[in-house]
């Protein structure tokens, strides 16, 4: 039972991170039908930008204000980077065949990844300890302050995003653009602006995910975007790519699955089982758990 509860906490923590990152994939896919392969590298970039902002810009002394500053400045930087990628790598290809955009996405991914390597080198960096190491032992289950923060902040962001997309005018315009871009234009929706909005939101959430990875795992490398990006991408597919609640659900489920495999079987096998899970889900429900919201007659 202890292992179960412990892995539940761990799984929810990493699942929250997967979910935040998966949202970036799924929102872009929803409207543009494009896998933004550069998204994972933005996540990696976020951890490095966070490191830079903390040590170089804000003096390297931990305080509440500094931590908030690290988050805000990093999110702004990564959001602008996401905006730039959309402008340079995707917008010129808006009417080109889909494959061209995919190749462009792979190119953008490599540019960012190598850019991080040029700036920070190929060695592993240690992300600063921005939060005090507070650990609670609740009846044998160990929970850290970082885990609580990751889970709570992720939950707030996801609920906020959900309400934004479901209840606001821009959110409705985002959903309309995802269904039919031409019909959205006929409503007077500037679809280009919607795409920019999506990139800003997706990159910002990815930036938070990257900072969480730094806080939680500490060791950050220039190429870690592939690994976390792949996990988040799998989460987005499991939930149903293009579907926002699906990405949240897929992320949490994947995190739990991973943690339980690591807890009960072996952490070396966690990756292998993750992909077995992906294959099984693709066989049973090719559109993912929440994909293909079938309209039912009432």
Partner 1 sequence: MTSEEILFKISDLEVSYGSIAAIKGISLQVRKGEIVTILGSNGAGKTTTMRAISRLIKAESGSIMFKGHELTRLPAHKVVSLGISHSPEGRRVFNILSVEENLLLGAYTKSKVDQEILSWVYDLFPRLKERKSQLAGTLSGGEQQMLAIGRALMSQPELLLLDEPSLGIAPILVKAIFAQIKKIAAKGVTVLLVEQNARAALKLADRGYVLEVGKIVFSGQSEELLNSPRIQEAYLGKQKK
Give contact residues for partner 1 (rule: CB under 8 A): 169, 172-173, 175-176, 179-180, 182-191, 293, 295-298
Nearer to partner 1, 173 or 201 (CB): 173
Q: Compute the least distance from the CB of residue 249 to partner 1, in Å.
A: 17
Task: Tell me whether residue 6 or residue 172 sits nearer to partner 1 (CB atom).
Answer: 172
Closest distance to partner 1 from the beta carbon of 193 (Å): 9
Between 186 and 284, whose beta carbon lies closer to partner 1?
186
- Comparing C-alpha atoms, which of 277, 174, 243, 200 is closest to residue 22? 243
Largest CA distance in the chain: 61
The Cα–Cα gap between 286 and 284 comes to 6
Q: How many CB atoms lie within 10 A of CB 3?
A: 13
Contact 66, 94 (CB under 8 A): no
Distance CA 114, CA 222 (A): 8
Instruction: Give min distance, CB of 6 to partner 1, in A.
Output: 39
Closer Cβ to partner 1, 28 or 178, answer by number: 178
Contact of 8 with 138, CB cutoff 8 Å: no
CB of 214 to partner 1, least distance (A): 37
Q: Is 219 strand, coil or helix?
A: strand
User: Considering the complex, what minimum distance in angstroms separates the CB of residue 172 from partner 1?
Assistant: 6
- Please give the structure tokens belonging to residue 135: 């650990």
Structure-block tokens of residue 245: 């609640």
Nearest-approach distance from CB 174 to partner 1, in angstroms: 11
How many Å from the N-terminal Cα to the C-terminal Cα in the chain? 44
CB of 173 to partner 1, least distance (A): 7
Task: Please say whether the beta carbons of 218 and 126 come within 8 A.
Answer: yes
Neighbours of 199 (CB within 10 A): 27
Which residues make beta-bridge pairs with 141? 138
The residue (of 113 and 177) whose beta carbon lies closer to partner 1 is 177
Q: Residue 7: helix, strand or coil by DSSP?
A: helix
């Amino acid at each position: 039972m202890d292992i179960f509860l412990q892995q539940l906490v761990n799984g929810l923590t990493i699942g929250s991170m997967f979910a935040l990152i998966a949202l970036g994939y799924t929102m872009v896919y929803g409207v543009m039908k494009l896998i933004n392969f550069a998204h994972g590298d933005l996540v990696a970039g976020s951890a490095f930008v966070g490191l830079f902002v903390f040590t170089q810009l804000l003096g390297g002394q931990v305080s509440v204000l500094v931590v908030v500053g690290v988050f805000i400045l990093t999110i702004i930087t990564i959001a602008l980077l996401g905006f730039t990628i959309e402008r340079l790598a995707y917008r010129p290809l808006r009417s080109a065949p889909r494959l061209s955009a995919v190749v462009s996405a792979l190119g953008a991914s490599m540019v960012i990844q190598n850019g991080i390597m040029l700036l920070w080198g190929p060695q592993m960096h240690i992300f600063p300890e921005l939060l005090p190491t507070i650990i609670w032992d609740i009846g044998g289950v160990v929970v850290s302050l970082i885990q609580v923060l990751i889970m709570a902040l992720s939950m707030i962001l996801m609920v906020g995003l959900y309400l934004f997309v479901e209840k606001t005018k821009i959110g409705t315009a985002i959903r309309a653009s995802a269904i039919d871009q031409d019909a959205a234009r006929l409503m007077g929706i500037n679809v280009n602006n919607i795409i920019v909005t999506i990139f800003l939101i997706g990159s910002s959430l990815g930036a938070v995910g990257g900072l969480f990875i730094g806080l939680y795992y500490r060791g950050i490398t220039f190429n870690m975007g592939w690994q976390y990006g792949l996990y988040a991408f799998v989460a987005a597919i499991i939930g149903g790519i293009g579907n926002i609640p699906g990405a949240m659900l897929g992320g949490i489920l994947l995190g739990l699955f991973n943690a339980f495999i690591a807890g009960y079987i072996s952490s070396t096998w966690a990756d292998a089982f993750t992909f077995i899970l992906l294959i099984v889900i693709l066989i049973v429900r090719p559109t993912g758990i929440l994909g293909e919201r079938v309209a039912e007659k009432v």
